[in-house]
């Protein structure tokens, strides 16, 4: 059984996190970064484009590594390498571009605008006001 945390960003820059479990999560297994899937997995209408993610130990996914294995690769720039000087190369551990059960977080881009949700504190305060009256 797979469990994922999906971080969904929309075209306006707003992002939200949803947890996907069991049969909904199984629909995402085997997909590769850059591919699109139906947003019904998280209860939205439209498409989700998979843009990245990380595994349970925080190792980031890269779209140019095939498969779902963890590999040490030589990097000079890009995902997983920060503040490299000119000409510097570093060997780093990266995960492949295919979603497997070891993946913990998946980053997605939603093709529309995310619906506005009421803040949890405001909803709780309204409920307590109703009970007092």
Local confidence band at 43 (pLDDT 50, 70, 90 cut-offs): confident
Using DSSP bridges, classify how beta strands 3-9 and 103-110 pair: parallel, antiparallel or unpaired: parallel
β-pair partners for 36? 49
Q: Per the confidence metrics, is the pTM higher than 0.75?
A: yes
Q: What is the mean pLDDT of the chain?
A: 85
Extents of the domains making up the chain: 3-67+95-132
The 10s digit of each residue's pLDDT in 76-97 is 888 888 877 888 999 999 999 9
Question: Does the pLDDT at position 60 exceed 80?
Answer: yes
Task: Report the phi/psi class of residue 58: left, alpha or beta, with left for phi > 0 and alpha for psi in -120 to 50.
Answer: left
Q: CA–CA separation, 8 vs 41, rounded Å?
A: 12
Question: Does the pLDDT at position 65 exceed 80?
Answer: yes
30's CB contacts (< 8 A; 6+ apart) are 98, 99, 100
Question: Does the pLDDT at position 23 exceed 60?
Answer: yes
The 10s digit of each residue's pLDDT in 93-121 is 999 999 999 999 999 998 888 877 656 55
40's CB contacts (< 8 A; 6+ apart) are none
Q: CA–CA separation, 113 vs 73, rounded Å?
A: 36
């Amino acid at each position: 059984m797979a469990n994922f945390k999906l971080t969904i960003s929309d075209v306006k820059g707003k992002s939200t996190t949803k947890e996907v479990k069991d049969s909904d999560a199984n629909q995402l297994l085997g997909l590769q970064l850059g591919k699109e899937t139906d947003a019904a997995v998280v209860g939205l209408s439209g498409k989700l484009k998979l843009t990245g993610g990380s595994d349970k130990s925080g190792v980031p996914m890269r779209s140019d590594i095939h498969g779902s294995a963890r590999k040490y690769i030589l990097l000079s720039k890009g995902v997983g390498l920060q503040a490299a000087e000119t000409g510097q190369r570093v060997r780093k551990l990266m995960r492949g571009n295919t979603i497997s059960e070891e993946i913990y977080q998946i980053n997605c881009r939603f093709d529309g605008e995310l619906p506005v949700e009421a803040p949890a504190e405001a909803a709780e305060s309204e409920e307590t006001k109703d009970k007092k009256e």
